[in-house]
Chain A
């Protein structure tokens, strides 16, 4: 099973269309997608506008690979559930987001273990055929440092 999510706030038809076209060629693979406010017709996908958190988590953790817009929430969930993640950044010039911060996220984080960035949706099929291995868990040092710093600010006189 493949799980795809484009978040809940903005439609991302370029990605969902590409997924639907791929699913049409691969009828044996189930593809579930949370696509937000997108009125489009995608007959080869199991569609949800939004999913409650428990359903979302269950689908995310059961998928053999997850496809998502390059939102931080997707990256954090992929680490939490040890799932390989294919990222497709939204593009501001196509009206897919207000700015290009998803491209920045993908450039900065896309080389990490467990992630694969697809810049051109035509490459999605190849990425789904050979997804990255699951992510590796870090040592938590960076988060611990941030906690310590913030605790200092909060507790300080």
Chain B
């Protein structure tokens, strides 16, 4: 669900969605959706099944970029993507407001870029903060016990700033009727191909 909200940042690329939940499609547009088994640290056999499925799908679509909000299936997708030389992006769930998730820490091994949606969590983890899906989650006016950082690309390191002129975002930022709104974090590894025309 959180990854669906990030869709405008890659909507202009050819995309394949991996998810553990059926019914994701309402927010994912026309892009293909593949279902993989869910897993977590307590289900080692399912981890293996999930790893096999995720690796298979990643090998098939050979993405240039893998982006995920977790959880463990997302880490597995980053690992598979890394193996293929893809750029791998972890966006930690906004639910992890005081420390990064265990999956997020594991993802450090495989992610070429790791973001938290909370400035102080990002700082503590050596990750990047660049904004969040909830307006004002880092806004001192609305979060009295929270830090002062406003999202500001100008404050980011040079190599992490958005590249001017490449921010084609043809689609509206949010589709209504997203699935399973109250469910726990939806693990959705996501592959985006920057240049649909180029073979890889």
Q: Does A152 contact B (CB under 8 A)?
A: yes
A68 contacts the other chain (Cβ, under 8 Å)? yes
Interface pair A155/B194, CB less than 8 Å apart: yes
Instruction: Count contacts between A and B, CB distance < 8 Å.
Output: 210
Is A109 touching B143 in the complex (CB atoms < 8 A)? yes
What are the residues of chain B within 8 A of A138 when measuring CB–CB? Answer: 134-136, 139, 142
- Least CB distance from B72 to A in Å reads 12
A108, B153: Cβ atoms closer than 8 Å: no
**Contact surface of A with B, Cβ cutoff 8 Å:** 5, 7-10, 34, 52-54, 56-57, 60, 68, 71-77, 79-80, 101-102, 104-105, 107-109, 111-113, 137-156
Interface 0/1 of B162-177, CB less than 8 Å to A: 1100110100010011
A102–B185 CA distance with the chains assembled, in angstroms? 12
B23 within 8 A of A: yes
Count of chain B residues near A, Cβ 8 A: 68
Contact B163 A142 (CB under 8 A): no
Q: Is there an interface contact between B101 and A101, defined as CB atoms closer than 8 Å?
A: yes
Do A101 and B95 have beta carbons less than 8 Å apart? yes
Q: Are B95 and A140 in contact (CB under 8 A)?
A: no
Which label, helix, strand, loop or mixed, suits the secondary structure of the A interface? helix
Q: Is the CB of B131 within 8 A of A154?
A: no
Whether A148 lies near B91 (C-beta < 8 A) is no
B194 lies within 8 A of A109 (CB): no
- Cβ of B144 to closest chain A Cβ, rounded Å: 6
Asked if residues B10 and A142 are in contact (CB atoms below 8 Å), the reply is no
In the complex, chain A residues whose CB is within 8 Å of the CB of B151: 141-142, 145-146
Nearest-CB distance from A74 to chain B (Å)?
5
Interface presence of B188 (CB below 8 A): no
16 A-B residue pairs with Cβ-Cβ distance under 8 Å, sorted by A, are A57-B181, A73-B181, A76-B1, A108-B146, A138-B139, A142-B133, A142-B134, A142-B136, A143-B134, A143-B135, A146-B130, A148-B167, A149-B131, A150-B6, A150-B115, A156-B166
